[in-house]
Copies of this chain bind each other. A is one copy, B any other.
Amino acid sequence: MNVLIVHAHPEAGSFTTAMRDAAADTLTAAGHQVLISDLYEMKFNPVASANDFLSRANEDYLVYALEQRHADANGLLAPDIKVELDKVVWADLIIFNFPIYWFSMPAVMKGWIDRVFVSGRCYGGMRFYDRGGMKGKKALVALTLGGQPHMFDVDGVHGPLSEMLRHLLRGTLGYLGFEVLHPFVGWHVPYISQDARTALLDTYRARLRTLDSQKAMVFPSLDDFDDLLRPKASDAA
């Protein structure tokens, strides 16, 4: 497989960074090709703007998604976007590796998603969920957080982590058509012992060696909706 690891952490010595390296080493040793986009190191610009297009279909009024389509089709995407989009096209698996900030990604990674998953190439019209442009590729979210598992039980104080991350797992990666693997979660990382951290990395490495046999998350199929995206079942009722 071709594997892209998109990594964002402001501390180069962090455990999250050790997860990035464990993934790169493990996947390389298993014979895969690995590229890393280290967004802090790259000083990646996360702000979607008119500057993302070398020229525009409409210079007077910016509709970002329409300009993404126009620019991608005509070779007019800003170079920093084009480089990342080429990696996305190349990749069979994308790993998003980050510490949870506000039950989501750090802004620099959110901006990578805003700018790189361009309309047209990656999704658009009725091309989403199981018809999304990333169909055939896998995605894995690998994250760290301070909380403990019981806080994310169904009756826990926050409810299920997968529900907090629904905008990413379903609304972004599922929407794009990825086969979304269940997240790898580094629980309670700032508070655990060095031995526990070592064990957590071992668990992550074992997980990475068996990606092929893991079931993906289940999202809607557009087969169950009509051309106006109304549920077919209730439409017939």
Chain A residues in contact with chain B, CB under 8 A?
Answer: 10-11, 13-14, 40, 46-50, 61-64, 101-108, 110-111, 113-114, 117, 129, 148, 150-151, 155-158, 163-168, 170-172, 175, 190, 220, 222, 225, 228-231, 233-234
What chain B residues lie within 8 Å of A104 (beta carbons)? 104, 110, 167-168, 171
Contact between chains at A164 and B171 (CB < 8 Å): yes
Copies in the complex: 2
- Measured between alpha carbons, how far is A108 from B106 in the docked complex, in Å? 11
What chain B residues lie within 8 Å of A167 (beta carbons)? 102-104, 164-167
Contact between chains at B48 and A103 (CB < 8 Å): no
Besides A40-B49, A107-B111, 10 other A-B contacts (C-beta < 8 A) = A10-B50, A11-B50, A47-B108, A48-B106, A104-B104, A106-B111, A107-B108, A111-B111, A157-B220, A157-B225
Contact between chains at B62 and A11 (CB < 8 Å): yes
What chain B residues lie within 8 Å of A106 (beta carbons)? 47-48, 110-111, 114
Contact between chains at A172 and B102 (CB < 8 Å): yes
Contact between chains at B231 and A63 (CB < 8 Å): no
